[in-house]
Amino acid sequence: MGKQIIREVEPIEVAAPAGEASSPWSSTVVLVKVTTTSGAVGWGEAPTTLMTRPVFESVAEVARFYRGRSLAEHRAAFAEYERYSFYRSRSMEATSALSAVDIACHDLVGHELGCPVSDLLGGRLRNHVRAYSNGWYSDCRDPAEFAAKAKAMTDSGFGALKFDPFGDQFGQLSPAGLRLASARVGAVREAVGEDVDLLIEYHGRFFPEAAIRAGRELEQYHPRFAEEPVRPELCDALVDFRRRVSTPVALGERLLTPSDFLSFLSRGLVDILQPDITNSGGFTSGREISGVAAAFGAPVAYHNAFGPIQTAATLQIDATLPTFFVQESFEASWPEWKRSLVRGYTIENGGFRIPTGPGLGVEVDERAVERFRSDVMEPISPEPPWVIAGTWVDRGGTSPSKATSKGPGGRASSSPRHRRR
C-alpha cells in the first residue's frame, strides 16, 4: 500500500434526469472519486441539501492535501487539512468535502488489503442491522394517507418508521397545526400497532415553547424518539425539553466533530446520537464518535438521507458500533436513477445485511454515474429542500395545514388520546 500514490481527487455531481421526480433534497448527489497511480479507485459521498455546488467546489481545497501523497499517509493528509482549514470545525461544506475524501481513501485501503472497511475499524460486531424507513410519506396530507402508507411499509417488513407530521408549521406551532400533527401520528399508531417504533422528525424547525407543546401532545403515541425538536441555534433549550417531555431526544446530522458530540452528551442535550458519516469526518472521525458514544452508553443511529455510497459507508461503521441502535433507510422510496448508481447491498425485511466485500463492499456503476453527471443546483420549489415532497405544499399549491384532520377511516378526528392496548 505504501507505493500507492493518490493521483486524482475528483468531485462528481449526479442529478435526477428530466421528468423523474425527486424530493429537492435528494435530487442531487455529490460523489468523490479518488484514483491512485496504479489506477485503483475509491469512492466517497458528500451531502447536498441546498449546498451541492459549494460542497463540490470544497473538494478541490481538500484535494490539494491528498494529491501526490502515499495512500498510506491519508490520515496525515486529514490532519494537515484540519490544521490549515481555519473554519473546518464550523463549516459544513469544508467538513463534508473532507469526509467524502476520507471515505474514498478507506475504500481504497480496503481494496488494497482485500478486506471490508469494518475490518480496518477493528472488526465487526454484527453482520445485519435493523433499519427504519424514511421518505415513505410523500404527498401525504390527511391522517388517513399517512396511515395507509405506514401500513404498507410495515407490511413490507419494517418495524420502525420515521416521519415529519408538522406540514408547513415553522418556528411557531398553531393550535390547528398541532391538532393535525397529532391526528397524523395517532392515525399511524392505530394503523401499525404498538410494536412498531414511531420516530418523530421535527427537522429542527421550532422555537422551544412550540417544541415542548408538540412533544407533550405526541407523548400519548409513545414515539421512540423526537429528532431535532428545537432549532439548532437554540440547542440549550433541549435541557428544558428533556425535563418536560418524556420522549428521548435524537440529533446529530448537523454536528461536525467528535467534540461536538461530546459537548451535547456532557451537557445533557441528547439521548440518541445521529452522526452523518458524510459530514462528520468520515471513518477517521467516526471511530472517535463511536468511542464518545460508548463512553456515555449513548445509542447511535446514523443519519443516512442522500445516496448509495453514503449507505454503503454507513453500514461498514454500523458493523463496529458498540452502541448501535437502528439505521435510517430511504431506499424503499428512492427514484430509479439513484438505485442504478451502486450494486452490492440490499434491504430486506426491514434490515440491511452488511456487505463483506473489500472496501465499502459495493460496486459503482460508472456508466450510470456518467449518464447522470450534472452541474445543476438543487431546484427551488414552494417547499423547503429538507421536506418530503408534497407534505409542505401539495401538487396544487395548497398548504397541508388546510387539510382536513381525518382519522384512518376517513372520519373527522379531534386528536383522540391514544392508550396502550
pLDDT-wise least confident of 84-93, 381-390, 400-409: 400-409
Look at residue 75 and give its three-state secondary structure: helix
Average pLDDT of the chain is: 93
Per residue, the 3-state secondary structure of 292-358, as one string, reads HHHHHCCCECCCCCCCHHHHHHHHHHHCCCCCECCEEECHHHCCHHHHCCEECCCEECCEEECCCCC
Sign of the Cα pseudo-torsion (162, 168, 171, 175, in order): negative
Residue 349 identity: N
Reported confidence tier of residue 405, pLDDT bands at 50, 70, 90: very low
Reported confidence tier of residue 24, pLDDT bands at 50, 70, 90: low
Sign of the Cα pseudo-torsion (47, 159, 195, 403, in order): positive
Q: What angle do CA 245, 248, 251 make, to 5 degrees?
A: 115
Reported confidence tier of residue 1, pLDDT bands at 50, 70, 90: low
- Asked about 303 being catalytic, the answer comes back as yes
Reported confidence tier of residue 124, pLDDT bands at 50, 70, 90: very high
pLDDT number for residue 49: 86
What DSSP string runs through 240-257?
HHHHH--SPEEE-TT--S
Average pLDDT over residues 143-151: 98
Burial letters for 71-110: b for 16+ Cβ neighbours within 10 Å, e otherwise? Answer: bebbeebbeebbeebeebeebbbbbbbbbbbbbbbbbbbb
pLDDT at 380 over 70: yes
What does the DSSP 8-state code read for residue 232? G
The percent of residues in the chain predicted with pLDDT above 90, rounded, is 86
Sign of the Cα pseudo-torsion (287, 288, 289, 290, in order): positive
Residues 25-60 pLDDT 10s: 678 999 999 999 999 999 999 999 889 999 999 999
- Using CB atoms within 10 Å of the CB of residue 397, give its burial: 0 to 12 exposed, 13 to 18 middle, 19+ buried: exposed
What does the DSSP 8-state code read for residue 5? B
- Asked about 106 being catalytic, the answer comes back as no
What does the DSSP 8-state code read for residue 161? E
Grid cell locating 182: 397529532
pLDDT at 84 over 90: yes
pLDDT number for residue 400: 56
Beta strands across the sheet bearing 28-36: 6-15, 28-36, 41-46
Average pLDDT over residues 127-145: 97
Residues 262-305 pLDDT 10s: 999 999 999 999 999 999 999 999 999 999 999 999 999 999 99
Average pLDDT over residues 157-168: 98
Integer-rounded Cα Rg, in Å, for the chain is 21
Domains and CATH numbers, the chain: 6-118 (3.30.390.10), 123-359+386-402 (3.20.20.120)
What does the DSSP 8-state code read for residue 230? B
Beta strands in 164-227, from DSSP E residues, in sequence order: 197-201, 225-227
Residues 209-222 pLDDT 10s: 999 999 999 999 99
pLDDT-wise least confident of 105-109, 203-207, 383-387: 383-387
Inter-helix orientation angle 74-84/92-113, to 10°: 170
pLDDT number for residue 394: 75
Select which of 74, 106, 111, 303 is catalytic.
303
Select which of 128, 203, 222, 418 is catalytic.
203
pLDDT at 185 over 90: yes
